[in-house]
Amino acid sequence: MIHSGMVFQLPAVLCVIDIVRCPVTLHRPILSISCISNILGYIDSLSSNQNGYRVVLLHLFPFPIAGPEKWCDNFPIANGPRQSPIDIVPGEAAFDAALQPLTLKYDPSTSLEILNNGHSVQVTFADDTDSSTLTGGPISGTYRLKQFHFHWGASDDKGSEHTVEGTKYPAELHLVHWNTKYPSFAEAASQGDGLAVVGVFLKIGDENPQLQKLLGGFDGIKNKACQTSFPNFDPAILLPGSLDFWTYDGSLTTPPLLESVTWIVCKETISVSSAQMEKFRSLLFSGEGEAPCCMVDNFRPPQPLKGRKVRASFQ
């Protein structure tokens, strides 16, 4: 029996359950689960139905709960049929002439804030209108930009989540969009076609001037739970010159690992210098007043393809 105000322990996360009454037409209470943690890179809320109750996860589990190899203990979907990331083997990807060109239309005025969510650095966007959207490619309809974030390693020889025939990159950018056929990002995140994430590999090379404004914002968000205003940023400047891509059906790469993502992984990389990568590594998993814990290796390794097909927009 669950009571309002009940406190219980999930792996490494203290949670509090509050019960809020639904509108009378639902005839059920709402269980509002607020985790004392920061949100994951992907989701700031998620709703689902269980046993007649509407369960609202306001803040999900921080990274890492434990190593990714342990996630299946608490999230069985970790061994599901469409988990991400994957190793992309170009020679096995099928060219699909039906794939449309990607159209990414971003309005810099929708950029809101930059934050350290305890897992990554994230820039969030206003998503109440179709001002910043993704269309085309493998998706139908319009998807709104919710946020972007990165994954990176402790050294320049690892950090990306996806790999290309075993090749690892030092970092990977994820631009997260949600399907507007659903009423909210939260609803979309639990649907098979709810999210579309554009992945871009960062490759060691010349300093990338397009990253400098972003990196300049890191000083104010060194610790977990720090955030600051980050207006007028156009994420299109982080895209490669060519938008040729691979695509497949996958999942979130952090718990709860929902299988709701259409992945669009760009073939062309963008440049990042080793010095710029050190700026990413200057961020901390830890909060203010806690023992410093460098934010590195915040990536999940590739998962089995399990019969899925990877398609390519190019020959």
Residues labelled as active-site residues: 119
For residue 311, count CB atoms less than 10 angstroms from its CB and return exposed for 0-12, middle for 13-18, buried for 19 or more: middle
Closest CA to 183 of 294, 313, 47: 47
Sign of CA pseudo-dihedral 48, 178, 85, 60: negative
C-alpha 162/C-alpha 48 separation (Å) is: 28
Computed over its alpha carbons, how large is the radius of gyration of the chain? Answer: 19
C-alpha 50/C-alpha 27 separation (Å) is: 14
C-alpha 66/C-alpha 167 separation (Å) is: 25
Contacts of 193 (CB under 8 A, 6+ apart): 139, 140, 179, 260, 262
